[in-house]
């Protein structure tokens, strides 16, 4: 039965990797392989002799267990992993909703008004710096969407905009690597108590800055970034509350790690508090009139919060559910733990993690990090966890399909896989290796 479960994982993973070729959204194979993997465990339960105890990170011998005892163990393990996965998903839903509420008030237009330059090189440094900073606050995917949307209003030349989008991907992924809320993988490590918010910032800020600065510096000397762009008149109206809502939204997201530090509660609790505060202010600012008639006619009150919830990326949420729960099934059987033991015996940790970063450019970094969390048993804030956060977060920039930021930019700007490979990948590789070198030298 282990062979069946591994086969399901490999085939599902292959379907996810070939998403664009198969024309099937990656959430579909993710959900199917999750259900089949756990169904395989349920059908083969009586034949399993070992089980991985995720609480104590050790292999249990369950040979003497009765069928009822094994079934009870499986149910408890499934509930444990589902609870941990839902903590991450609810956290992401909260963060996405806050960003959409800010966008409802056209808050990100405030950032566009800051950009006054028409010099291509200066604009490159501005958007890359903004990508690095914003991704640490609102995550790399959202930061990429925001900046490309702004670029569309500044640059009408689509081929030139593709170059900027490519560098934004590198900057956003680098910025997300050092923040506990900047990337799904760092959020996973933070919520699993593998890293602390302070530890991530302390150990990864400098390597991440290097990972962003080196490619941007090299790119600024390329011919495409020489000269000026035509000035574009800004005719878009800005809400009187846009700046206030932008500051409030970003502040409440930054407040989440502070809340966790003060209360020691899981991060999703703080995110729900932040979402509640932002939603309350948004409803007040929109001067809504609540009435029973409106509720009866429409079923929902169509305020900023409801509209924001209708826009969040539910396919991404379901994809993460499928991936994380599938990896949990492999972990429960002890397969990931045994693989980790074999890897540690064959090569140094740093070499393996460096290769993991390269692999994240080809394979989605979420399951790679989920798997690595079952391979190592190091203490919280150990060097290996910080290096995994850096490698998985920034390594995806090497290919456009290697990160959520790259995939969304690919769709928004119609960037081809091979155009990115020819023009941007080498810059991403240089940045990744430079940041990795800084991290390893520091440790």
What does the H/E/C string look like for the chain?
Answer: CHHHHHHHHHHHHHHHHCHHHHCCCCHHHHHHHHHHHHHHHHHCHHHCCEEEECCCCEEEECCCCCHHHHHHHHHHHHHHHHHHHHHHHHHHHHHHHHHHHHHHCCCCHHHHHHCCCCEHHHHHHHHHHHHHHHHHHHCHHHHHHHHHHHHHHHCCCHHHHHHHHHHHHHHHHHHHHCCCCCCHHHHHHHHCCCCCHHHHHHHHHHHHHHHHHHHHHHHCCCHHHCCECCCCCCCCCCCCCHHHHHHHHHHHHHHHHHHHHHHCCCHHHHHHHHHHHHHHHHHHHCCCCCCHHHHHHHCCCCCHHHHHHHHCCHHHHHHHHHHHHHHHHHHHCCHHHHHHHHHHHHCCHHHHHHHHHHHCCCCCHHHHHHHHHHHCCCCCCCHHHHHHHHHHHHHHHHCHHHCHHHHHHHHHHCCCHHHHHHHCHHHHHHHHHHHHHHHHHHC
pLDDT of residue 295: 43
Look at residue 377 and tell me whether its pLDDT is greater than 80.
no
- Of the pLDDT bands very low, low, confident and very high (cuts 50, 70, 90), residue 291 is very low
What pLDDT score was predicted for residue 394?
A: 93
* Residue 269 vs residue 330, higher pLDDT: 269
Note down the domain range covering 392.
Answer: 2-442
Q: What is the per-residue pLDDT for 431?
A: 95
- The average pLDDT across 334-355 equals 78
Query: What pLDDT does residue 299 have?
Result: 47
pLDDT per residue over 301-331, tens digit each?
A: 567 778 888 877 788 788 878 888 888 888 7
Lowest mean pLDDT, pick from 13-17, 215-219, 232-236, 271-275: 232-236
Please report the pLDDT score of residue 340 as a whole number.
67
For residue 341, pLDDT over 80 is answered with no
* Count of domains for the chain: 1
Residue-wise pLDDT tens digits, 215-260: 999 999 999 999 888 766 666 666 678 888 888 988 898 888 888 8
Mean pLDDT to the nearest integer, 118-139: 90
Residue 49: predicted pLDDT: 83
Q: So what's the pLDDT on residue 300?
A: 47
Rounded to two decimals, what is the model's pTM? 0.74
Of the listed ranges 74-78, 137-141, 176-180, the one predicted with least confidence? 137-141
User: Using 50, 70 and 90 to split pLDDT, how confident is the model at 293?
Assistant: very low
Residues 189-207 pLDDT 10s: 888 889 998 899 999 999 9
Q: What is the pLDDT of residue 296?
A: 44
Asked if the model's pLDDT at residue 285 lies above 50, the reply is yes
| Predicted pLDDT of residue 192 | 83
The predicted pLDDT at position 205 comes to 94
Structure confidence at residue 139 (pLDDT): 80
Average pLDDT, the chain: 84
Which pLDDT score, from 0 to 100, does residue 428 have? 95
Query: Among the listed ranges 211-225, 281-295, 401-415, which one has the minimum average pLDDT value?
Result: 281-295
Query: Above pLDDT 70, what percent of the chain?
Result: 91
High-pLDDT (> 90) share of the chain, %? 26
- Quick check: 294 pLDDT over 60? no
């Amino acid at each position: 039965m282990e062979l069946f479960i591994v086969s399901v994982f490999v085939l599902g993973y292959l379907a996810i990797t070939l998403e664009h070729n198969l024309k099937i959204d990656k959430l579909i194979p993710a959900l199917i392989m999750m259900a089949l993997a756990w169904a395989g465990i349920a059908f083969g339960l009586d034949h399993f002799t070992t089980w991985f105890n995720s609480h104590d990170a050790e292999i249990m011998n369950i040979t003497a267990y009765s069928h009822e005892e094994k079934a009870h163990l499986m149910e408890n393990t499934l509930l444990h992993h589902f609870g941990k996965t839902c903590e991450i998903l609810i956290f992401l839903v909260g963060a996405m909703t806050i960003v959409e509420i800010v966008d409802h008030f056209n808050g990100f237009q405030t950032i566009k008004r800051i950009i006054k330059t028409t010099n291509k090189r200066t604009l490159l440094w501005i958007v890359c710096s903004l990508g690095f900073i914003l991704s640490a606050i609102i995550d790399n995917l959202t930061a990429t969407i925001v900046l490309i949307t702004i670029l569309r209003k500044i640059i009408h030349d689509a081929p030139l905009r593709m170059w900027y989008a490519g560098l934004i991907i590198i900057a956003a992924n680098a910025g997300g690597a050092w923040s506990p809320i900047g990337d799904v993988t760092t959020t996973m490590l933070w919520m699993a108590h593998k890293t602390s918010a302070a530890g991530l910032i302390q150990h990864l800020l400098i390597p991440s800055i290097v990972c962003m600065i080196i490619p941007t510096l090299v790119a600024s000397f390329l011919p495409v970034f020489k000269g000026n762009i035509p000035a574009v008149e800004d005719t878009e109206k800005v809400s009187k509350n846009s700046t206030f809502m932008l500051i409030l939204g970003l502040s409440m997201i930054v407040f989440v790690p502070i809340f966790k530090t003060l209360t020691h509660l899981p991060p999703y609790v703080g995110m729900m508090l932040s979402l509640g505060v932002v939603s309350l202010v948004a409803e007040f600012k929109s001067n809504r009139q609540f009435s029973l008639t409106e509720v009866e006619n429409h079923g929902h009150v169509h305020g900023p919060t409801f509209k924001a919830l209708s826009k969040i990326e539910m396919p991404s949420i379901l994809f993460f559910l499928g991936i994380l729960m599938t990896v949990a099934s492999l972990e429960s059987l002890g397969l990931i733990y045994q693989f980790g033991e074999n890897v540690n015996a064959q090569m140094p940790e740093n070499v393996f993690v460096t290769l993991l970063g390269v692999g994240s450019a080809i394979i989605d970094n979420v399951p790679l990090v989920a798997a690595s969390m079952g391979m190592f048993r190091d203490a919280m804030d150990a060097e290996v966890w910080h290096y995994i956060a850096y490698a998985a977060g920034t390594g995806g920039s090497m290919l456009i399909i290697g990160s959520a930021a790259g995939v969304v930019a690919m769709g928004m700007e119609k960037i081809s896989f091979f155009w990115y490979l020819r023009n941007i990948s080498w810059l991403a590789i240089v940045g990744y290796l430079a940041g990795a070198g800084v991290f390893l030298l520091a440790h």
